[in-house]
Amino acid sequence: MSDYSFFLQLLPELQAYEAETGKKPAEIQSFAQWLGKRYSVSSTAGELESRLAWNGKGNGGKPHYTASNLITALSRYKMIYVKLALEGTPFETYDEFVFVLSLVFAGPYTQSQLIERHVQLKPTGMEVIRRLLRKNLITQEPSGSDKRSKVLHATDAGRTAFYETLSRINDVTDMVMAPLSAEERLRLLELLQKLDKAHRDVFMNNKKMELGELLEKFGVQRS
């Protein structure tokens, strides 16, 4: 007589798959991939917790507190390297470089669009734009649809400076990520995109929310 206990164990997994993905497993491959990911994560979480160290471990500290601090520290390490890479170029700061980058590859932008794209506060972003205008790396003209709005473009000098500097910045980025394997870099990208999507929505659409409202939005209870 056949033992159907294994198939009975699969039924709750099928229900969980349908609830999470909103679709029925029409073909085995997608369900198998989902199931493998589900169990690989749960089986390695304990191993990671025992292997990793973080501030206050075993004494109330949470791993994501340290992770958040490390994201900030990594950004500062990169800025130290970038400052060296920008020596002898027309760019004084990384913000100047990436503003021109956006205008070269994806522009033109209005002032507000460019500032928001790079998650800058308006006064800081406007100062970056003024410096670039003074150095003739970008230019501005009235928008065709709204004469009150200024549209920014990279000048020929700005494009030349950008391309002459790009390889230096790429080298710095490669150096920052050098300790990670190709697979680890992709995993990191996936996680950072997930975080960016949630917080960029707040930056773009909910700037005036109070801290209590933000905590509620992210489902975080006050300490």
The residue written with tokens 């970038």 in the block is: 82
pLDDT of residue 1: 43
pLDDT of residue 191: 92
201: enclosing H helix or E strand: helix 182-205
**83 or 35, greater pLDDT:** 83
By CB atoms closer than 10 A (0-12, 13-18, 19+), residue 54 is middle
Cα separation, 74 vs 194, in Å, equals 18
Q: Residue 136 phi/psi, 5° resolution?
A: 60, 30
Read off the pLDDT of residues 70-98 as tens digits, 9 standing for 90 and up. 999 999 999 999 999 999 999 999 999 99
**Helix boundaries (H) for 86-155:** 94-105, 111-117, 122-134
What the block records as the tokens of 138 is 């970008």
Averaging pLDDT over each range in 26-30, 129-133, 147-151, 179-183, which range is the top one?
129-133
Read off the pLDDT of residues 146-187 as tens digits, 9 standing for 90 and up. 667 789 999 999 999 999 999 999 999 999 999 999 989 998
Q: Residue 150 phi/psi, 5° resolution?
A: -100, 135
CATH architecture of residue range(s) 63-177: Orthogonal Bundle (1.10)
Please name every residue paired with 154 in a beta bridge, in sequence order, or none if there are none: 138
**3-class DSSP state of 92:** coil
110: enclosing H helix or E strand: strand 109-110
Averaging pLDDT over each range in 39-53, 125-139, 193-207, which range is the top one?
125-139
